[in-house]
Amino acid sequence: MFVTLLILSVFTGNLSANQSGQSGERDGNSDNMVLPEINGDKFYYFGYGSNMLTMRIHLQNPTAIKIGPGVLNDYRLDFHTYTKRWEGAPATVVPHQNRTVLGTLWEIDLINLSNLDKQEGVAQEIYRPLSLSIAHPPNRTTVARVYMLVNQPSTDLKLLQPDDTPFNRQPSKTYLKCLIKGAIETGLASDYVNWLKSIKHNGNVVDELENLLDLKDVDISN
């Protein structure tokens, strides 16, 4: 019974991803209900946005255990649309040859996989889950769950001059601080952290989250 419930909840996640009509990038699990990111009663998850920060992921996923820094090859970090919670554009990963997204690899109790899907708005087709290979030290790769915005940006943030960055590509100041704090906590390369600091934000400050996540003193100047 326990196992059946798990498979059902995983299958439901897969179905809602499929309903967006973009199921192609999952690593061939459509006829195999066991997701490759599952390991026993745990699954691996790669956070590249606010969930790089331990305090933040533990708000909704208290069972998350940090494995360490990870690299998603052939994708780039970008931002698009708007979330009310953070008052700015949320992060996404976009396929992009020879670019990398750095982030944090976590191990989470499988029982809470549907909670994470809920947090990422999978049923509302805000994000869709993928199973992608994450490189991490020492010289390993692990398939992890990675969420990508359904509504992807069509241009490359890195090619935009800061002052030409449209509003729907700008994270809030609070969200950017959360990413920078999480990236430093994870020990990501300083040139990546400096690039995060250079990203144009929309100036919005969400006091409740700054207090909750202790973001007031995060230095975002380059």
Ligand X SMILES: *[C@@H]1O[C@H](CO)[C@@H](O)[C@H](O)[C@H]1NC(C)=O
Residue number with CB closer to ligand X (30 or 155):
30
| 60 forms part of the interface with ligand X (CB under 6 A) | yes
Q: Give the CA angle between residues 143, 102, 149 to the nearest 5°.
A: 75
Contacts of residue 45, Cβ cutoff 8 Å, sequence gap at least 6? 37, 51, 64, 105, 106, 107, 108, 116, 144, 145, 146
Minimum gap (Å) between residue 71 Cβ and ligand X: 14
Minimum gap (Å) between residue 62 Cβ and ligand X: 6
Q: Judged by CB under 6 A, which of 4, 32, 97, 221 binds ligand X?
A: 97
What amino acid positions are annotated as catalytic residues?
120
| 123 forms part of the interface with ligand X (CB under 6 A) | no
Please tell me whether 175 is known to bind a ligand: yes
Residue located via tokens 């040859």: 97
| 32 forms part of the interface with ligand X (CB under 6 A) | no
Angle between helices 190-198 and 173-186 (to 10 degrees): 180
* Structure-token pair, residue 60: 């909704």
| 137 forms part of the interface with ligand X (CB under 6 A) | no
**Window of 10-18, 37-45, 124-132, 170-178 that interacts with ligand X by CB under 6 A:** 10-18
Nearest to residue 179, comparing CAs of 57, 74, 73, 80? 57
Q: What's the full length of the chain, in residues?
A: 222
**Cα separation, 191 vs 195, whole angstroms:** 6
Q: Judged by CB under 6 A, which of 4, 139, 154, 222 binds ligand X?
A: 139
Interface with ligand X (CB under 6 A): 14-15, 18, 23, 30, 60-62, 97-98, 111-112, 115, 139
Mark the binding-site residues for substrate, compressed into ranges. 45-50, 175
